[in-house]
Chain A
Amino acid sequence: MTTKVVTQKQIYKYFTIHIITTIIMFMIGIVLQQSGYSAPLGVLIGACIGIVITFLSIAFAKRRPDAFFVHYGADIVTRWLHYPLMAFIIMTNLLLVAINLWEIQDLLLQFYLTGTPSWIILGLCGLCISYMARYGIKSMFRAAEGMFYLSMITFIIIPYLVHSNMEWFLARGFATVASVKEAWPTAYHLGSIFGEASLILYIYPYISQATYTRKTTIRFTTLAALMVICHLIPILIVLGPDLAQNLNYPELDIIRLIKSGSYLETLDPIIIALWLVSIFIKLSFILFVISHMLSRILKLKYSKPLIYPICTFIIVSTICLAQSHTQFFSMHNGGVSTCVYISQLIPLLYYVIDVMRKRRKQMEEESL
């Protein structure tokens, strides 16, 4: 069924939430450790990388706007190449969901739900995610439309609330101390996150007004990059680069420094609750794409029955992902971003082969 049910505005709101929630809660500690003052520059470069990857995917999708990629991919390259590549993409996306779930369970267990066994948290999160994915493509984007304004208000209000702690002279460091060489690791890691918008390729037939997708891409990437920078700059100015590098979750420490009234000083549970809903929306979308692709590859008509088992498999993978905190964080420098980049750039291979084949066909027709 290729009814066009997803509008451009929904895509804009969904992908903004998709990108922001991942970066702000998980990646800021690592970004500051690797780049310090050059972090905003790294975010900008990463956003450019993400835009380039997404444009490539969209340009490829535009060639056949009404068919699903998993179907016509077998015609472009041979079946023997197509199915292993699709399997690789599915495994990478499964891994992405597992990694995000692991980080959620780590954050909640460490600060808020000490004593709870991890499989209960994972089971509940998995239940929420699979419910939303089961409802179909419309549910995620409608949920994103609803959460968008609330999330934006929460993310914008935090820098405003800590403004009394800021030492403005430190802002000069962004111009004098920042360098591209320091910013490159950040740009590399964040580029893979901004590039997750290339999942648009797999749901392209569902998008209405598809000719405007490029403009929407630029808009949501810009907004996401702006929001992330609006968070990085206050963290660096309030805590200073040396202290911010040493903290695992600088975001939570910033929230605890809010002085205006004793109620707002313990604001972090509210922020966590709102952010958790946003990240469930993101994970359910990826789960939907996985089950959709799997059902099309195996030529099954319905993708709904696959969602619960895939989710259970993901939960088991999350439990078996890493034994300790240290082992998990060694992965961040150990290749996850490269894995994700490869899965995002696989459509580029198809694009090149498709263009070459079409040209060869044109030349053959002309010579005839």
Chain B
Amino acid sequence: MRKLTISLLLLMMLTGCWSSEELNDQAFIGVLIIDRNDDGIEVTFGVPLTTNLASGETSGSASGGEVFGYFSRTAPTLEEAMQKVQGDLSRRANIGQNRNIVVGRRFAEEGITPVLELAARNPNIRMNTNMFLVDGYAKDEVAKATVTSERFFISLLNKYVEHRTALQTTIKDFMLSKASGGDGLLPIINFSDNTEGAMVGKSSTVGTGGAAIIKKGKLVEPILTPDQTSAAQSIRNQLGNYFFSIESPTENGWIGLYSTSVDVKTKIVKKENKYHIVIKPTSEVEAIGNNSTMNFAIYEDVKKLEDSIDQFSDQLHADTMHVIQQTGADVFHFDRYMMVKYPQDWRKIKDHWREYYRDQLAIDIDSDIRIRRKGSTVRSFKSQFIEHNEGD
């Protein structure tokens, strides 16, 4: 009898969860697209359509329909729009797997603060969600783009960040410090039409472009070009592979170079009562093309080439920093360097840091780039095979 009561009581342990969550009852959001139109804020959930995925596994997206769906609604505030979108979905939206947020230009101009606040406060949205900007109306551009090199648009975005093709800005990067909070750089996703840009077959595809400067949560002009974006990436220590070319120091023609990684050290020093941020990029590059008659075997010529590469790098970084500094947006959060090294002086400046940054902070760039390898051939094609034959 006692054993019977005990085993019946033990049966109560087989009940399982109180509030279970079925996988098939949830729609996992892949990308969150936010933009502003005349009626308010438009929120779009980009959701992989699992029912089409399952049936269309072997034959791709041609049979069965689209594999990615975009559901959007407009409302005066972000949260109301999200509630309206949920009303369209047949499953409960789960934002926990989301890694990317794409904002449109008009929304960025009027302030991305609502998104930052939502992402920081909501425990389900991760703080290292990547953010991107679309120079136009985000939902239309994303929804009509054909993604051909990857299965989904979100895999494309994830791979851009993973392979350091695009600048990586996360939600956390906007909140690193109080004095420069809300300042950052948003990488731009380009959607090319048929005239230029990437093309696979006949459809136009997605690509990376420059970057947009955000000051206090709002977009400010100008927009950085792709070269300047690469310089910004290198200041953030995120630059991977980079192709560039330099005028040859000895003859006319250019030399093509390739760097696999750029290592950047930043620090702050005080010289004659003025603060200087010193940025030192170092890298080892390979020569991949020599379209001049320069001879890599001559040490002095190689030294001259290295000096002109240093100059090129200094110039590019200085131009980029100049453009960014003029807007007054401290996108790299240099105030943290000052706060830890000179706390007493920081306390006096911190209330008007952005003005100080724009007018009085000096930024010095000191590049040190070496040529590591010169490739497989000894002399350039031009000098070995073309210029060699004179009078022809």
Contacts and interface: CB of A to CB of B under 8 A. Distances in A.
Interface in B1-25: 18-19
B339 interface: yes
Contacts of B19: 113-116
Contact of B18 (A120, A240, A259): A120
Nearest to A254: B127
Nearest to B126: A256
B18 A177 contact: no
5 contacts: A170-B336, A176-B343, A177-B343, A243-B176, A257-B172
A208 interface: no
Contacts of A259: 128
Interface string B22-36: 000000000000000
Nearest to B346: A177
A66 interface: no
Interface string A347-365: 0000000000000000000
Contacts of A120: 18
A111 interface: yes
A239 interface: yes
Given A113-B18, A169-B337, A257-B128, A243 B172 contact: yes
Contact of A176 (B177, B178, B267, B340): B340
A256 B340 contact: no
B340 A246 contact: no
B264 interface: no
A170 B340 contact: yes
Residue of A172, A242, A246, A253 ringed by the most chain B CB atoms within 10 A? A242
A26 B336 CA distance: 28
Interface string B161-183: 00000000000100111100100
Contacts of B266: 169
A173 B172 CA distance: 20
B341 interface: yes
A177 B123 contact: no
B339 A239 contact: no
A3 interface: no
A110 B123 contact: yes
A276 to B, nearest CB: 16
Q: Tell me the interface secondary structure of chain A in the complex.
A: helix
A332 B253 CA distance: 72
Contacts of A240: 175-177, 336
Contacts of A243: 172, 175-176
A242 B18 contact: no
A111 B128 CA distance: 18
A173 B339 contact: yes
Nearest to B266: A169
Residue of B18, B337, B339, B342 ringed by the most chain A CB atoms within 10 A? B339
B120 interface: yes
Q: Tell me the interface secondary structure of chain B in the complex.
A: loop
Interface in B140-173: 172
Given A116-B19, A167-B336, A246-B120, 4 more contacts: A240-B175, A243-B175, A243-B176, A256-B128
Which are the 4 A-B pairs with shortest beta-carbon distances? A115-B19, A173-B340, A172-B340, A242-B178
Interface string B228-250: 00000000000000000000000
B18 A257 contact: no
Contacts of A169: 266-267, 336-337, 340
Interface in A71-117: 110-111, 113-117
A106 to B, nearest CB: 12
Contacts of A117: 18
Contacts of B178: 242
Contacts of B343: 173, 176-177
Contacts of A239: 172
Interface of B: 18-19, 120, 123, 126-128, 172, 175-178, 181, 266-267, 336-337, 339-343
Contacts of A242: 175-178, 181
Interface in A127-167: 167
Nearest to A266: B96
A236 B176 CA distance: 11
Contacts of A173: 339-340, 343
A172 B123 CA distance: 30
A15 to B, nearest CB: 32
Given A176-B341, A243-B175, A116 B18 contact: yes
A316 B213 CA distance: 55
A177 B339 contact: yes
A242 B120 CA distance: 13
Given A240-B177, A243-B175, A256 B127 contact: yes
A201 to B, nearest CB: 39
A340 to B, nearest CB: 29
Interface in A242-275: 242-243, 246-247, 252-253, 256-257, 259
A181 to B, nearest CB: 14
A173 B346 CA distance: 12
B372 to A, nearest CB: 25
Nearest to B128: A257
B297 to A, nearest CB: 41
Residue of B172, B267, B342 ringed by the most chain A CB atoms within 10 A? B172
Contacts of B175: 240, 242-243, 246
Residue of A110, A120, A246 ringed by the most chain B CB atoms within 10 A? A246
A239 to B, nearest CB: 7
A21 B343 CA distance: 34
Contacts of A111: 123
Contacts of B127: 253, 256-257
B272 to A, nearest CB: 22
Interface string A167-196: 101101100110000000000000000000
A117 B19 CA distance: 10
Nearest to A259: B128
B23 to A, nearest CB: 15
B147 to A, nearest CB: 20
Contacts of A252: 123
Contacts of B126: 256
A114 B340 CA distance: 41
Contacts of A246: 120, 175
A110 B123 CA distance: 9
A256 B342 CA distance: 32
A23 to B, nearest CB: 21
B95 to A, nearest CB: 13
A169 B176 CA distance: 14
Contacts of A247: 120
Nearest to A238: B172
Contacts of B342: 176
A242 B177 CA distance: 6
A5 to B, nearest CB: 30
Nearest to A37: B340
A117 B18 CA distance: 9
B176 A172 contact: no
